[in-house]
Chain A
Amino acid sequence: MDFDVLVIGAGPGGYHAAIRAAQLGLKVACAEMGAVGGVCLNIGCIPTKALLHAGETIANTRHAADFGLSYGPATLDIAKMNGWKDGIVKKLTGGVAGLFKANKVTHLVGQASFIDANTVKIGDKTYTASSFIIATGSEPATLKGLDVDQVAIVDSTGALNVPDPVPARMLCVGGGVIGFEFAHIYNNLGSKVKVIEFLPNIIPGADADAVKEFGKIMKKQGIEIVTRMKANSAQKQADGVHVELENVETGEKTTEVFDRVLVAVGRRPRTAGLNLEAAGLKATERGFIEVNTRMQTGVPHIYAVGDVAGNPMLAHKAMKEGLVAAEVIAGKPSEQDAVAIPGVVYTSPELAWVGLTEQEAIDKGYKVKTGLFPMSASGRAMTLQSTEGFVKMVVEEGTDLLLGVHIVAAHASDLLGEAGLALEMAATASDVALTIHAHPTLGEAVLEAAESVHKQAIHIVNR
């Protein structure tokens, strides 16, 4: 055998798997047909967060007037912003390549295709391995009638290249995490943004109260949100993209004109070209490769991790699964047994959650108590000019066990670390409330939400 482990894909799942396998003494190769770092580093998490930061900084220049700081008219060099973002991506992908080298992971360039269950073809060479980890990720789902040209009609990849001038009228088709992050970016850069969502609610999977609060704030920032609406077709004409919109409930159709249309209606797993059948594998109807909690497919020495192995399609889930697969191959008793996988929308304020929503907890048969602490009562939030949102805690009545934490607040994504640890440690709301949190910090809102479960929050009137 050429390798102990051959990882297919160098995204978050793949590079975590490759590095951990190498750390555990295995001879590892990682095949990648595109750029190392995968979607997350190249055309996903990292570049979007860079643009979100740029947009937030522009918005902050306006808020600074509240404490007497005024600027001349802000000017944005869009080419420079795009270049700065690309520089961060380059630095991080270079970092992954460096980690491969340092860990003696062989980087194979090209599309891997199975010849049999122990052999893949990459380019005109074949390689054998005792184990494989499939980490081929996902790609944007397409929408019939909306043909992506990456200029006027874009998917998330095209949306990363902000045009100059910024589109005056922007439509985001899909009110999920990706749709709202781009809506937020373009809104802050000066576009008039409309988000349409097919379902009755935006950000599916998040807590209803948190989504309601989040939607209210996004609307206040100027983003138009319409639910139960779909886009049937988009035609490029001289004055812009003509989009036929349809109200899902009434069937009423209207045509609106936009300068840029983002299609963000989800992602689909990617297995094309892998020749799974040769390895004895078959994707499910939806395109996923089924795995057990040890990340093993139906063919025990072939593993699958990340987006291709099922929902939720999140980088940190892929990273964890990559580690599990590598450890299992190395003979460790590892398992994907996470209690909760956090979710984050990196707008300002952020929407972030971990664990069960109130409704999910009720549906699972829990008797639920909730606690809520508004950021408007947080001293630290006031000093940061960010008093919108709240921390909501979902707790099991009787045992006081923490079931879920839902946050709409500045830096909610960072506050989530504590909540995630609490859930994994099977903490009670009392455990959180009894932990001294530094003052003044946004994290105190987590403590106070826990206190509020017991109607003992200090900085609000408990009802």
Chain B
Amino acid sequence: RPVIHAAPSVRRLARELGVDIAQVRGSGPAGRVSEDDVRAFQKGGS
């Protein structure tokens, strides 16, 4: 499993929204994934 650079609560949010966090490109330093990144990815619908 690849290492996901996201806080535990962000990873949980992704699961709740049905988003595969491994697909989300992080906008933070060192590619960290934020809650907004997860929500934007979901809205993008891809």
Contact = CB atoms under 8 A, between A and B. Distances in A.
Among B6, B15, B16, B29, find the residue whose CB has the most chain A CB atoms closer than 10 A: B29
Contacts of B4: 337, 339, 426
Consensus secondary structure, chain B interface = helix
Interface in A385-422: 399-401
Nearest to B3: A339
A333 B5 contact: no
B15 A335 contact: yes
B30 A428 contact: yes
* Interface size class of chain B, counting residues whose CB lies under 8 Å from the partner chain: 10 to 19
Nearest to B17: A333
Contact of A337 (B5, B11, B30, B31): B11
Given A399-B30, A426-B32, A333 B7 contact: no
Interface in B13-46: 15-16, 29-32
Contacts of A424: 7-8
Consensus secondary structure, chain A interface = loop
B14 to A, nearest CB: 9
B42 to A, nearest CB: 14
A424 B6 CA distance: 7
Interface string A280-318: 000000000000000000000000000000000000000
A102 interface: no
Nearest to B28: A426
A436 interface: no
B6 A426 contact: yes
Contacts of B12: 333-334
A335 B19 CA distance: 14
Contacts of A333: 12, 15-16
Contacts of A428: 29-30
A34 B16 CA distance: 38
Contacts of A334: 12, 15
A426 B7 contact: yes
B7 A425 contact: yes
Contacts of A401: 5, 30
A400 B3 contact: no
28 contacts: A333-B12, A333-B15, A334-B12, A334-B15, A335-B11, A335-B15, A337-B4, A337-B8, A337-B11, A339-B3, A339-B4, A399-B30, A399-B31, A400-B30, A401-B5, A401-B30, A424-B7, A424-B8, A425-B7, A425-B8, A426-B4, A426-B5, A426-B6, A426-B7, A426-B30, A426-B32, A428-B29, A428-B30
Interface of B: 3-8, 11-12, 15-16, 29-32
3 closest A-B pairs by beta carbon, nearest first, are A333-B15, A426-B5, A399-B30
